[in-house]
């Protein structure tokens, strides 16, 4: 039997036959969903590219 840690509580959790995987229980699954829906978790935004103004052009000749 493969055991993996629950991403929320870190409890060793069976992977096969677990309807809540990767979580250990419905409680951890629901808690995680609630955190996403309340925007407690955030995916970092890619930094905006420089528009080129003030660019040093290091290594370029001209």
Centre a 10 Å sphere on the Cβ of residue 28 and count the other Cβ atoms it contains. 18
Q: What is the pLDDT of residue 13?
A: 94
Q: What is the pTM of this model?
A: 0.62
What is the average pLDDT value for the chain, to the nearest integer? 84
Residue with tokens 């840690």: 5
**3 has a pLDDT exceeding 80:** yes
Model confidence at 58, pLDDT cuts 50, 70, 90, reads low
Nearest CA-CA partner of 23 in 4, 36, 40, 42: 4
């Amino acid at each position: 039997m493969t055991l993996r840690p629950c991403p929320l509580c870190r409890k060793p959790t069976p992977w096969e036959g677990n309807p809540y995987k990767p979580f250990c229980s419905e409680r951890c699954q629901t808690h995680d969903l609630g955190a996403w829906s309340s925007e407690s978790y955030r995916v970092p935004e890619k930094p905006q590219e420089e528009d080129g103004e003030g660019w040093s052009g290091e290594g370029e000749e001209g």
